[in-house]
């Protein structure tokens, strides 16, 4: 899994209140070119969503589970067809995860947490919540950690996404500014319009 090759350097975060709407959201995002998505385990029947999306999108889909907190979460997500796992942090139970084959995006904010994430094999450090420091904080972190791949998440819109990518992020994770209310039953045409605007905004930076 190469995060720099994600379309538009974007990982969509689907966190909804309705399983069918969440599934439709994942599939619509893929249809519109945002083919990398994580389904938060806080979504009702999230594992069902992952299983059905995997069936629809095939084995090569970049489809993961988010808000993974425990080793049991990780194992169940792997069984459902997730190809990567995203955590808000790293607890002791998750360090003993029985799914070492799945890439981990481990949440961290402070330098000590960044070190812990990298020591535990993170494919990338999920800088969360990124909005606390903005692109300037990412730039400051990259001074002592120039080789660590960072993926900022939290409060990111198209304008700040460009700032993070310019500061050296490998990709960005984006939730409501892109997904909106679609995963709760909102209008899919409105979702398609947001995706179109996102693609336009990100194309220049990704092509650079």
Which residue in the list 126, 139, 193, 205 is annotated as catalytic? 126
Instruction: Determine the average pLDDT of the residues in 159-172.
Output: 96
pLDDT at res. 103: 92
How far lies 57's CA from each of 19, 35, 107, 113, 158, in Å?
17, 9, 27, 34, 26
Query: CA nearest 22: which of 184, 178, 174, 176?
Result: 184
Render pLDDT for 57-110 as a digit per residue (tens, 0 to 9): 998 889 999 999 998 999 999 999 999 999 999 888 877 665 667 899 999 999
* Residue 139 is among the residues annotated as catalytic for this protein: no
The answer to pTM > 0.75 is yes
List all residues 6 or more positions away from 92 whose beta carbon is below 8 Å from its beta carbon. none
**DSSP reduced 3-state for 153:** strand
Average pLDDT for 182-200: 96
**Residue in the block written with tokens 């995006």:** 105
Contact 184, 19 (CB under 8 A): no
Q: What is the mean pLDDT of residues 153-174?
A: 96
- DSSP code per residue over 162-184: HHHHHTT-S-EEE-HHHHTTGGG
pLDDT tens, residue by residue, 10-38: 999 999 999 999 999 999 999 999 999 99
CATH fold of 3-203, please?
Answer: TIM Barrel (3.20.20)
The pLDDT of residue 207 is above 60: no
Q: Which residue has the higher pLDDT, 97 or 163?
A: 163
How confident is residue 208, by pLDDT bands cut at 50, 70 and 90? Answer: very low
Q: What value does the mean pLDDT of the chain take?
A: 93
Confidence label for 129 from pLDDT (cuts 50, 70 and 90)? very high
Q: Which of 31, 38, 113, 193 is catalytic?
A: 38
């Amino acid at each position: 899994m190469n995060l720099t090759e994600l379309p538009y350097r974007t990982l969509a975060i689907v966190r909804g209140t309705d399983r069918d709407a969440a599934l439709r959201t994942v599939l619509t995002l893929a249809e519109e070119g945002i083919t990398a998505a994580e389904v938060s385990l806080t979504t009702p029947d999230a594992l069902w969503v992952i299983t059905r999306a995997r069936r629809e999108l095939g084995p090569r889909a970049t489809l993961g589970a988010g808000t993974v907190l425990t080793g049991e979460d990780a194992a169940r997500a792997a069984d459902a067809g997730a190809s990567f796992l995203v955590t808000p942090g790293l607890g002791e139970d998750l360090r003993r995860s029985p799914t070492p084959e799945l890439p981990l995006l481990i949440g961290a904010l402070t330098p000590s947490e960044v070190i812990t994430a990298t020591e535990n094999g993170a494919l990338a450090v999920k800088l969360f919540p990124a909005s606390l420091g903005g692109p300037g904080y990412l730039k400051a972190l990259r001074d002592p950690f120039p080789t660590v791949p960072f993926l900022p998440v939290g409060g990111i819109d198209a304008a700040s996404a460009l700032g993070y990518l310019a500061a050296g992020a490998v990709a960005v994770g984006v939730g409501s500014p892109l997904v909106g209310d679609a995963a709760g039953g909102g209008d899919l045409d409105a979702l398609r319009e947001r995706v179109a605007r996102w693609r336009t905004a990100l194309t220049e930076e990704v092509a650079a």
